[in-house]
């Protein structure tokens, strides 16, 4: 996977198999992304990095894209000090 631009988004839902995101950039089903997030920000400083694949995309509210991703692999679990 070639590194690409950093895009900020808001997580909508999280499960063991995937995640929904609201972002301002369009992606195409099949695109691979690296997600970095705090799954429990109030409980832990741990950052999870996962490779995911975009499964579906829809435009909502003009310039906001809702994407659904499925997880392919865990890259790392980091703890911030």
Q: What is the pTM of this model?
A: 0.73
Task: Give the pLDDT confidence of 24-53 residue by residue, as tens digits.
Answer: 888 999 999 888 877 777 787 788 788 889
Closest alpha carbon to 8 in 46, 35, 27: 35
Domains in the chain, ordered, with CATH? Answer: 9-79 (2.40.10.220)
Give percent of the chain above pLDDT 70.
84
pLDDT at 81: 43
Whether residue 53 contacts residue 70, with contact meaning beta carbons closer than 8 Å, is answered with: yes
Q: How many CB atoms neighbour CB 26 within 10 A?
A: 12
pLDDT at 68: 94
Q: Mean pLDDT across the chain, nearest whole number?
A: 81
Q: Can you tell me the mean pLDDT for 6-18?
A: 83
């Amino acid at each position: 996977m070639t590194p690409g631009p950093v895009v900020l988004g808001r997580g909508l839902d999280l499960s063991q198999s995937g995640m929904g995101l609201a972002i301002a950039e369009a992606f195409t089903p099949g695109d691979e992304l690296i997600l970095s997030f705090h799954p429990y920000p109030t409980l832990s400083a741990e950052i999870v990095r996962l490779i995911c694949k975009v499964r579906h995309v829809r435009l909502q509210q003009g310039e906001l894209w809702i994407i659904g991703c499925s997880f392919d692999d865990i890259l790392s679990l980091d703890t911030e000090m």
